[in-house]
Amino acid sequence: MIRFENVGLRYGMGPEILRDISLHIPERSFQFLSGPSGAGKTTLLRLLFMSLKPTRGLITIFGKDRSRISRTELPHLRRRIGVVFQDFRLLDHMTTYENVALPLRVRGREEASYRTDVTELLKWVGLGERMHVL
């Protein structure tokens, strides 16, 4: 579960970019964020993904106060949050298969341990025929 309570953010001494944001995201839920360019969507996602700290307010992530989460805890908590950006943020020099498998490679897993899972996932979402396409 993720909760924002009266969260605000400003960069340096500049104006407040986000003001009085309060929201609740239940665990295992899917949420969509949309709005016009410059509305603060990316900034809000960066707060949610813990790559920024708010300048005021309270963010609670899986029962933990964001201001008390250590640097060593961050990767473990981030693994529990999935974000898909509008442009998918795929690496264009990698195939569809390689893009999907990248988080597993980064975690140090051998390809043999995930090859079948990634292949089945791509087939399940209708991309089996495109898994080797850039």
Q: What value does the CA radius of gyration of the chain take, rounded to a whole number of Å?
A: 18
User: Is 84 domain-assigned?
Assistant: no
Is residue 44 located within the same domain as residue 110? no
User: Is 90 domain-assigned?
Assistant: no
Is residue 7 located within the same domain as residue 64? yes
Is residue 108 located within the same domain as residue 56? no
Amino acid residing at 85:
F
How many independent structural domains does the chain possess?
Answer: 2
Is residue 105 located within the same domain as residue 54? no
Output phi, psi for 93, to 5 deg. -90, 0
Residue 54 is part of which domain span? Answer: 2-78
Residue from 10, 76, 1, 73 nearest 43 by CA = 10
Convert the pLDDT of each residue in 37-89 to its tens digit: 889 998 999 999 898 999 999 999 999 999 999 999 988 888 888 776 666 66
Is residue 62 located within the same domain as residue 107? no
Placement of tokens 């992530």 in the chain: 61
Structure tokens that stand for 18 in this block: 């986000």
The pLDDT score that the predictor gives to residue 4 is 98
User: Is 85 domain-assigned?
Assistant: no
Q: In the predicted model, what is the mean pLDDT of residues 14-29?
A: 92
pTM score of the predicted model: 0.64
Within 7-110, where are the H helices? 41-48, 74-78, 96-106
Q: What is the CATH number of the domain that holds 64?
A: 3.40.50.300
User: Is 32 domain-assigned?
Assistant: yes
Structure tokens that stand for 19 in this block: 């003001």
User: Is 55 domain-assigned?
Assistant: yes
